[in-house]
Structure formats: C-alpha cells, structure tokens
Structure 1
C-alpha cells in the first residue's frame, strides 16, 4: 500500500513539473477536437483538427489504471431460411469415333456411350433458429490522468482480452499504456 502511494505521489510531481515546464502556446479546446495556438497577446492564431485517440487503432494511450469492466455478449433467438443442397443427375449420349488407315482403305469406327453428370444447388427448405449477437463481448479499461492531464479522468476504452487480463493483473492507479480497439464502454 505504501509503495502504491509513493508511486502515485512521484507520478503526480512529475506530471505537475512537466505541466509547469510547457510554454502554454498550444492549448486544447475542451469541447472540440481542435488545437488552438495562442499568440503572446492571447488571441488565437490558427485551428487544426486533432486526431481522435480512441478511433486511431495504432495509437497508444497512457494513464493511471482506474477500473476494468467486462461486458458480456448479448444474444437473441432469430430465424433464417434453412438452405439445403439439392442435387440432380442427368445423362447424355456421347458419340465417339476413331479412324484407321488412309485414303481408300480408311475405316471409321463409331460407338456411343452414356455419361452421367451431377449438378447441385442450394434451395430453401423451411426455416431454422439460431443465436444472433445483439451486442458483442467487450473488455474495457478506465484510465485517470489520460495522457498526463490531471483533468481527464474516468476515460473508458475498449481493449483486447489480453490487455484486459494485463490490466486486471496490475494495481489500481498504476501507470498503464494500452492500444484501444474502441472508445467508450
């Protein structure tokens, strides 16, 4: 317990120190995804969109692990057409010829054979019931101090099962870097 408190205190001091060292020329507008450059007199110079970290799959985020949540898949019974394979065979008469000799001594032999062929297709044969997934299974992790910002707490991310298992194995409020598969939970 004491080790966790010391780690949290050191992290808070580092975050505060890094925040004090920044020049303040790049501010994030709280309600939008735009970065606003502030001039020395306080006027805004330009706006450019910032990429959403939750939708960019290859972007890692970091923060302090807060809570974890597993959302079970929800399914319902549904019906769909039952398709079966129907095959039919058909026969056809095939003519075969061979020739021997040349000129006036040429002889042609002809015979017939029967070849069978099979053709299959999918046809509807009533209905069948199955389990339709209404909501897929989700594994979620909540982070505090997202990206080192003390004001961004309780941000939920959907993660892979292995990341979820790793989050369960770590202590609460431990620094964690993860690659989200989605945002919200």
Structure 2
C-alpha cells in the first residue's frame, strides 16, 4: 500500500514540475516577469522590453549615458535583542528490561527576541547605478535607431572611448535606460 502511494505521489510531483516549467519563461521563474531593471512586469522605460535572455546586439554608437545611484534618507524601527531568563521542564525516560523510569528536570535558558526601541536612519536606494549605450542601425536594421541598452561598466567604457557612429557589438543587460 505504501509503495503505490509513494509512486502516485512521485508521479503527481513530476507532472506538476513539468507543467510549471512549461509555463515559466522568466529569469526568476515567473512567466512574463522581467528582472534586473527595477520596473518589474509590464514596466516601460523606452518603450522596448528585452526578452528574458538577451542575445548579442550590434550597431553604430549613437550615445552613452551614466546614471548615478540615487538614494534618500529613510527611517525604520531600531530593533534591539532583549533576553530574559526562563525555565522549562524536560522529561527523561530510561528503560531497563520491562521497567521504565521517568523523571523531570528543570532546564534554564535565555528567551531572546527582538523588540523595537526607537528609530534609526539609513540610506534607501531608489535608483541603482546604470551604464547605458545607444545604438543606431541595430543588428543591421536601418529602421531601429537610438535604441538604449543597459550594459556593464567595461562595455560602457569601451563605448565611451570609441567615436560616434563607430561599430559596436556587445551583450546587453537589458533595454532602456
């Protein structure tokens, strides 16, 4: 009885995993959810959404842009660990042949939990640092001009050092800036 129950359970789990993996597609497992740009699903930046896994793009350098990290000062509750001494009864059992002996002891321990005590200030990031490159004639398509891509710092540096309308080829981190 237990073997058939386990087999049925394993089969159901396998079907569930196969169904969920077929429906998924995003990099974080949620279908249609784009990560890494801070906009979430359905967000718009420059009107273009990048597929979850972007391929290499090529085109002519149209511009570069660096967006510095933006933070604001915020407050949150300051949590302090408070401990109080406490005791609990522990049951002990010893078997010897047919007889069983049971006794209880008192165990001392520290009952610790976090309690709010005032507030603290911290810097909350509202925009992460971004490096962007704009391309004209993306992948040879003369209609696609001035398309912005988020890139890594080394790619940004390479584009910054190149001339305007110089050919570039890189793998973007996402679209829009």
Scaled to the shorter chain, the TM-score interval is 0.5 to 0.7
Structure 1 gaps of 5+ residues are 1-51, 103-107
Q: Which moved more, 1:152-161 or 1:66-75?
A: 152-161
Seen in structure 2, the aligned counterparts of structure 1 residues 95 and 156 have a Cα distance that, compared at 3 Å, is closer
Distance in 2, matches of 1:157 and 1:96, equals 66
2:86 aligned partner: 90
Query: How far did 1:131 drift?
Result: 0.8
1:168 aligns with 160
Q: TM-score, normalised by structure 2?
A: 0.59
* Contact 1:54–1:157, Cα closer than 8 Å, also in 2: no
Deviation at 1:114, TM superposition (A): 4.7
Q: SS of the counterpart of 1:167?
A: helix
- Give unpaired runs (5+ residues) of structure 2: 1-46
The 3 A distance-change label for structure 1 pair 53 and 112 is closer
Rg larger in structure: 1
Output the CA distance in 1 between the equivalents of 2:160 and 2:82: 52
* CA separation of 1:95 and 1:61: change in aligned 2, threshold 3 A: closer
1:179 match: 171
Number of the residue aligned with 2:139: 147
Deviation at 1:93, TM superposition (A): 6.2
User: Which runs of structure 1 show a deviation greater than 4 angstroms over 4 or more consecutive aligned residues?
Assistant: 92-100, 110-114
Provide, for residues 75-100 of structure 1, a one-character-per-residue CA deviation record: whole Å limited to 9, x for no partner. 11111111121112213566879899
- SS of equivalent residue, structure 1 residue 116: strand
Give the 3 Å change call, closer, same or farther, for CA 99–58 of structure 1 in structure 2. Answer: closer
Q: CA–CA distance in 1 between the matches of 2:66 and 2:175?
A: 14
Instruction: Name the CA shift for 1:166/1:119 in 2 (closer, same or farther; >3 Å).
Output: farther
2:76 to 59, 68, 80: 80
The answer to whether structure 1 residue 55 and structure 2 residue 50 are counterparts is: yes
1:133 offset after TM fit, Å? Answer: 1.3
TM-score (norm 1): 0.56
The alignment of Structure 1 onto Structure 2 pairs a total of residues equal to: 129
What's the C-alpha RMSD, in Å, of the aligned pairs?
Answer: 3.1
Name the structure 1 match of 2:126.
Answer: 134
Q: How far did 1:165 drift?
A: 2.3
